[in-house]
Structure 1
Amino acid sequence: MTLPVFDAAAIERAVTSRLVLDTVRAALIAHAEGRTSVPPPLHLDFPEADGDCHVKAGRIAGAADFTVKIATGFYGNPARGLPANHGLVCVISARTGAPRALLDDRGLLTAWRTAAAGALITHAMARPAAGTLAVFGTGEQARLQALWLAGLRPLGPVLVHGRTPDKARALCEALAAHGLAARPAAAAEAARADMIITATPAASPVLDAAMVRPGAHVTGIGTDMPHKNELPPALFHRARLIATDDHAQCLDHGDFGHAVRAGSAAEDADIAAGLLLKAPVDRPDTAITVADLTGVGALDAALASAVLRRLRE
């Protein structure tokens, strides 16, 4: 029997943002409630090519399938006319162990589940009246974070901070094409937004914790390997509420772990992000809140299964 292979074009035609958001939300809640199985991810680093590779596996208890996913980020690719991200997902029966399908998505499902997780947790943790968004980063994930959050709440000005002015302007133009009022901003201005999302491969913090104002929410999504670091430890020291998508992962190679090792946060200072999606967040308007998202294999499993069902319909 030939293993079915579905390419990125077929996946894009079949999947809606609502399917992704609902699936990721349910998977984050399941993970927070201990209804998942997620082994530690495998990391490979390619410094000579400015690239990295992640292999993640996971399942949700009772689900018919589990998945093994390969996702790569080679950040010099755009200069070569190639996408920065690639990947594929193997969907495997949890009852027989037989592979069911290969989703040759070129990293699309990883991008979508990351965008959905970031948007969901930012929306849940930010003040209801928060409107100004700052995005640190100028790549595809920075674009998706802004667009998916805009689908959950009204956004005022979107401030884009990037190391390359041309890329920052290009992202602003792309967001403007979707009706968002976006403009480039210096790091100090961006750090004072109501909501901040960092989506970079940075190895050192991209914003100054002292510039983040009371009442702001910050979501970091780029620190998914030990050598990466987007959010400064001092920000966690100022935070009233800290959420992590996976406690052990974030301690091992997330920004939360950097803060704990620096003595800026206690090891038990975090709460599972999925629990915050089940009930409204109790937060004073002046509180700073932070979410550290490192990517959980159970989300990949849930989304791949949902996508495969849709494709086979």
Structure 2
Amino acid sequence: MSMPVFDTAAIERAATADLVFEAVRESLIAHAHGRTTVPPPLHLRFPDTDGDCHVKAGWVTGDPDFTVKIATGFYGNPAAGLPTNHGLVCVISAQTGQVRAILDDRGLLTAWRTAAAGALITHAMARPDATTLAVFGTGEQARLQVEWLARLRPIAAILVHGRSWDRARALCEELTARGQHARPASAEEAAGADMVVTTTPASAPVLESAHVRDGAHVTGIGADMPHKNELPPALFGRAALIATDDHDQCLHHGDFGHAVRAGAVTATDDTPVGLLLEKPAERPDDAITVVDLTGVGALDAAVASAVLRELTR
């Protein structure tokens, strides 16, 4: 019997937003309580082509499957008419070690689980009356963060900041066509939104701490390798609450780690994201909150297993 390989179209039909949100939320909570196995990710860089590759594995305790995932990001691809991200997920039985299926998702599930994680924690930590959203970045993840957060709360206005004004304008036009009110903005103006999400491969901070207003929430998505850095250490120093998806990963190659090494905060100043999804913390209206997401292999396992169940019903 040959091993099943499911293509992107089949995966996209099976992976509903509700399914992805539930799998991501439950796996982040399980991870916060130590009910996962997640080895350190493997990173490869390709400086000549502005590319990188992540290999991540994960298992949620008690689940029938674990996964090994390859995810690539080649940031010059759009100029050649190619998508930035690609990859696949290998789903393996946690009882027998046999490969159950290959999900040839071309990076789709990574993009969606990242979008769901960002949306869930931004919604949980932002003020209930926060309605303006700024995204730093103009790629697929910037668009997805808007779309997935809009599933959870109303967004009155969207500010988009990118290195290319033309790409920022193009993303705004796409979001506006989908019913959102979006416009390009400077880095200073975008940093002053109620909710700020950064989705870039930057190696230096994309905003200044002083431009973030009291009462704002900031979610960092892009710093998922040691050389990347989106959020300034001083912003962590201003935060009343800092959350991380994986403490060790964020110390090693996240923005939280940059802040710790800069002396802005200590290595024990973070709270697991999953605990805040399980029971949101009370926050003063003028408090700044910051989240550092580096991507956890347990999320890939949970989402892939849920999708495979749908595909094999």
Output the TM-score relative to the length of structure 1.
0.99
1:199 aligned to 2:199? Answer: yes
How many Å apart are 1:281 and its aligned residue?
Answer: 1.9
Matches for 1:153-232 after TM superposition, within 5 Å? 153-232=153-232
* d(CA) in 1 for partners of 2:166, 2:43: 31
2:128 aligned residue: 128
* d(CA) in 1 for partners of 2:306, 2:7: 15
* d(CA) in 2 for partners of 1:54, 1:267: 25
* d(CA) in 1 for partners of 2:213, 2:166: 28
* d(CA) in 2 for partners of 1:155, 1:270: 27
1:235 aligned residue: 235
* d(CA) in 2 for partners of 1:13, 1:56: 24
* d(CA) in 2 for partners of 1:14, 1:302: 14
How many Å apart are 1:13 and its aligned residue?
Answer: 1.4
* d(CA) in 1 for partners of 2:173, 2:17: 22
* d(CA) in 1 for partners of 2:202, 2:18: 30
* d(CA) in 2 for partners of 1:185, 1:249: 31
2:52 aligned residue: 52
SS of the aligned residue for 2:62 comes to coil
How many Å apart are 1:74 and its aligned residue?
Answer: 0.2
1:63 aligned residue: 63
Matches for 1:1-313 after TM superposition, within 5 Å? 1-313=1-313
How many Å apart are 1:280 and its aligned residue?
Answer: 2.3
- Counterpart AA for 1:304: A
How many Å apart are 1:173 and its aligned residue?
Answer: 1.1
SS of the aligned residue for 1:280 comes to coil
SS of the aligned residue for 1:112 comes to helix
SS of the aligned residue for 2:207 comes to coil
* CA distances 1:83-134 after superposition (whole Å, capped 9, x unpaired): 0000000000000000000000000000000000000000000000000000
SS of the aligned residue for 1:53 comes to strand
- Counterpart AA for 1:275: L
* d(CA) in 2 for partners of 1:122, 1:54: 24
SS of the aligned residue for 1:73 comes to strand
* d(CA) in 2 for partners of 1:7, 1:197: 30
How many Å apart are 1:177 and its aligned residue?
Answer: 1.7
* d(CA) in 2 for partners of 1:214, 1:14: 41
SS of the aligned residue for 1:66 comes to strand
* d(CA) in 1 for partners of 2:12, 2:93: 23
Gaps of 5+ in 1: none
* d(CA) in 2 for partners of 1:280, 1:247: 18
- Counterpart AA for 1:117: A
| Superposition CA RMSD, Å | 0.5
* CA distances 1:226-280 after superposition (whole Å, capped 9, x unpaired): 0000000000000000000000000000000000000001100000000000112
* CA distances 1:155-176 after superposition (whole Å, capped 9, x unpaired): 0110000010110011101111
Output the TM-score relative to the length of structure 2.
0.99
How many Å apart are 1:69 and its aligned residue?
Answer: 0.1
* d(CA) in 2 for partners of 1:296, 1:87: 16
How many Å apart are 1:54 and its aligned residue?
Answer: 0.1
* CA distances 1:191-241 after superposition (whole Å, capped 9, x unpaired): 100000000000000000011010000000000000000000000000000
* d(CA) in 1 for partners of 2:118, 2:174: 19
Gaps of 5+ in 2: none
- Counterpart AA for 2:182: A
* CA distances 1:52-93 after superposition (whole Å, capped 9, x unpaired): 000000000001000000000000001111100000000000
* d(CA) in 2 for partners of 1:174, 1:300: 28
* d(CA) in 2 for partners of 1:290, 1:246: 14
SS of the aligned residue for 1:237 comes to helix
SS of the aligned residue for 2:178 comes to coil
* d(CA) in 1 for partners of 2:127, 2:143: 22
SS of the aligned residue for 1:44 comes to strand
Would you say how many aligned residue pairs link Structure 1 and Structure 2?
313
- Counterpart AA for 1:131: T
* d(CA) in 1 for partners of 2:55, 2:254: 16
